[in-house]
């Protein structure tokens, strides 16, 4: 029984601490990572220099006066050997360690008769006692729900899961680096907002006790970032947690990460060029020469990304005139009839005004906006705008969105008088973009679902 195994480990913990002190010391004496020991093995072996390696035990085998084990840290895996005549307190310690324990092994490197690189321990010290037994197999948790419910075990047992998360974090780091190089400043804006704005989405609602008012988790940081433009910040970005109380599928999760950025005195054409350059550079830095995603080879990823007009695509794939569609039909027709056909990267441009309430209209056609979406393999990866900065036009569009909300459209934007007041003081012409970090990570790791590149997701509670 599980509880019996836990009790057995707790007895080992007690025995260790009674004789050798804490099994949870505050620090280790590590001299090398396992990766460093492997890379410099021949030099360290020849010098007979003592090293101190730390890691997590994955196997223990042997009997009598010798014990073999394997342990790993983030940089690699290594074998350790305990011998009665070499290892301090061998007899007292040999039965006190288990799979999952964090240990510190101090000793000299050597090569076994079978040619395996190892460390012969002069001392083994407990760094953390694992009191709950690991799953019986070290070769992976296969149950999909269990993997995501116990994601920390998934990262240990399934190397591909950890590799995908490593890549996701590196993507964010490289994107930050590129933006800083281009003169963008990273900023922060509120997550709790009195009015959910900046996107057409259903918000999460809660109550702000100190102010005795209802408040919302942001659906986008847009309206506060634009306040910073009003305040004189010209090139800004935020890597933002956003929340939309909607469905879950391979491209959507209600809590997601997006980078949103604005550049004063740019337009959407300039922003399209920059986004294309940034994303191609991120892929190259990741060592990707051919991009594949969900079974499709994206031959056009490293070629110039074409521009295609929204209305023309509706006509081509749905056989409809976008100007004759009702507002609530426009986006649905596009999602169902057009997007599945767009595999290689393409900028879809010139969206109708009705579905772009925060975008500047074109000078030659006031019903069309300077908006572009980057679509890859039928999914949206970036939303780009020449930002609307005319406060009179903005008020009219917000009033229309408010009417829709009051008529029952839970995703419609709300009237935000404080934002309108801010841009009445003057917001410079600017371009903005939102890029889904989760989707970008899924694309560049060829992952089927964004859940695989999100550290932890919520699941329906167990009964």
* Contact indicator for 27, 41 with CB cutoff of 8 Å: no
Structural domain for 291, as ranges? 149-453
User: Does 77 share its domain with 188?
Assistant: no
In a domain, 110, yes or no: yes
Q: Once rounded to an integer, what is the mean pLDDT over residues 50-77?
A: 95
Least confident of 9-18, 203-212, 278-287, 412-421: 412-421
pLDDT digits (tens, 9 = 90+) for 319-332: 999 888 887 789 89
Supply the mean pLDDT for the chain: 93
User: Does 190 share its domain with 62?
Assistant: no
pLDDT digits (tens, 9 = 90+) for 201-216: 889 999 999 999 999 9
Output the domain CATH number for residue 406. 3.30.930.10
User: Does 185 share its domain with 124?
Assistant: no
* Contact indicator for 201, 217 with CB cutoff of 8 Å: no
Q: Which of 128, 160, 181 is the last residue of a domain?
A: 128
User: Does 261 share its domain with 373?
Assistant: yes
Q: What percent of the chain has pLDDT over 90?
A: 80
The radius of gyration computed from the CA coordinates of the chain, to the nearest angstrom, equals 28
Using CA atoms, how far residue 47 sits from 6, 110, 142, 290, in Å, is 42, 11, 44, 44
Q: Is the pLDDT assigned to residue 139 strictly greater than 50?
A: no
- pLDDT band, residue 252 (cuts 50/70/90): very high
User: Does 158 share its domain with 112?
Assistant: no
What string of H, E and C letters represents the secondary structure of 412-439? Answer: CCCCCHHHHHHHHCCCCCEEEEEEEHHH
In a domain, 137, yes or no: no
pLDDT of residue 142: 63
User: Does 309 share its domain with 425?
Assistant: yes
In a domain, 463, yes or no: no
Least confident of 168-177, 357-366, 449-458: 357-366
Q: Which of 95, 128, 161 is the last residue of a domain?
A: 128
Q: Which two tokens stand for residue 134?
A: 């690991």
User: Does 199 share its domain with 155?
Assistant: yes
User: Does 235 share its domain with 199?
Assistant: yes
Q: Is the pLDDT assigned to residue 141 strictly greater than 60?
A: no
Q: Which two tokens stand for residue 439?
A: 């989707």
The structural domain count of the chain equals 2
User: Does 153 share its domain with 218?
Assistant: yes
pLDDT digits (tens, 9 = 90+) for 79-131: 999 999 999 999 999 999 999 999 999 999 999 999 999 999 999 999 999 99
pLDDT digits (tens, 9 = 90+) for 348-405: 999 998 888 878 989 899 889 999 999 999 999 999 999 999 999 999 888 888 888 7
Q: Is the pLDDT assigned to residue 138 strictly greater than 50?
A: no
pLDDT digits (tens, 9 = 90+) for 154-164: 999 888 999 99
pLDDT digits (tens, 9 = 90+) for 401-447: 888 878 887 777 778 899 999 999 999 999 999 999 999 999 999 99
In a domain, 460, yes or no: no
pLDDT of residue 130: 97
Output the domain CATH number for residue 69. 2.40.50.140
pLDDT of residue 268: 97
In a domain, 113, yes or no: yes
Least confident of 44-58, 218-232, 349-363, 414-428: 349-363
Identify the residue with better confidence: 138 or 15: 15
In a domain, 188, yes or no: yes
Q: Where are the alpha helices (DSSP H) in 286-377?
A: 310-318, 327-333
- pLDDT band, residue 137 (cuts 50/70/90): low
In a domain, 133, yes or no: no
User: Does 327 share its domain with 401?
Assistant: yes
Q: Which of 128, 160, 192 is the last residue of a domain?
A: 128
Burial grade of 114 (CB within 10 A; 0-12, 13-18, 19 or more): exposed
* Contact indicator for 51, 119 with CB cutoff of 8 Å: yes
User: Does 101 share its domain with 161?
Assistant: no
User: Does 154 share its domain with 253?
Assistant: yes
In a domain, 461, yes or no: no
């Amino acid at each position: 029984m599980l509880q019996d195994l836990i009790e057995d480990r707790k007895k080992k913990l007690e025995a260790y601490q009674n004789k050798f002190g804490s099994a949870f010391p505050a620090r280790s004496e590590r001299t090398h990572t396992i990766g460093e020991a492997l890379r410099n093995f021949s030099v360290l072996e020849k010098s007979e220099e003592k090293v101190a390696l730390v890691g997590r035990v994955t196997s223990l085998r042997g009997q009598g006066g010798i014990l073999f084990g394997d342990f790993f840290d983030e940089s690699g895996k290594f074998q350790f050997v305990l011998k009665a005549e070499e290892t301090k307190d061998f007899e007292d310690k040999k039965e006190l360690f288990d799979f999952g324990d964090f240990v510190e092994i101090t000793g000299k490197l050597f090569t076994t008769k079978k040619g395996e690189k190892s460390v012969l321990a002069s001392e083994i010290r407990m760094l953390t006692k694992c009191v709950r037994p690991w799953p019986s197999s070290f070769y992976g948790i296969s149950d999909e729900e269990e993997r995501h419910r116990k994601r920390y075990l998934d990262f240990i047992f399934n190397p591909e899961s950890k590799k995908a998360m490593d890549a996701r974090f590196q993507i964010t780091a490289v994107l930050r680096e590129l933006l800083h190089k281009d003169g963008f400043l990273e900023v922060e804006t509120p997550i709790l907002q009195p009015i959910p704005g900046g996107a057409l989405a259903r918000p999460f609602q809660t109550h702000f006790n100190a102010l005795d008012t209802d408040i919302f988790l942001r659906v986008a940081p847009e309206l506060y970032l634009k306040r910073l433009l009003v305040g004189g910040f010209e090139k800004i970005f935020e890597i933002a947690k956003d929340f939309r109380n909607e469905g879950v599928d391979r491209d959507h999760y209600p809590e997601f990460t997006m980078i949103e950025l604005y550049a004063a005195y740019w337009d959407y054409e300039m922003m399209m060029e920059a986004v294309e350059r940034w994303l191609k550079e991120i892929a190259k830095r990741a060592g990707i020469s051919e991009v594949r995603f969900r079974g499709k080879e994206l031959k056009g990823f490293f070629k110039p990304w074409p521009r295609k007009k929204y209305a023309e695509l509706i006509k081509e794939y749905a056989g409809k005139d976008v100007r004759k569609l009702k507002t609530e039909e426009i986006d649905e027709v596009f999602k169902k009839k057009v997007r599945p056909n767009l595999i290689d990267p393409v900028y879809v441009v010139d969206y109708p005004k009705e579905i772009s309430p925060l975008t500047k209209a074109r000078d030659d056609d006031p019903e069309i906006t300077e908006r572009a979406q980057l679509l890859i393999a039928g999914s949206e990866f970036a939303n780009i705008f020449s930002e609307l900065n005319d406060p009179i036009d903005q008020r009219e569009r917000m009033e229309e969105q408010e009417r829709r909300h009051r008529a029952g459209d839970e995703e419609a934007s709300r009237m935000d008088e404080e934002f309108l007041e801010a841009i009445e003081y003057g917001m410079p012409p600017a371009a903005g973009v939102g890029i889904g970090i989760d989707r970008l990570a899924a694309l560049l790791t060829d992952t089927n679902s964004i859940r695989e590149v999100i550290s932890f997701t919520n699941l329906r509670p167990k009964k």
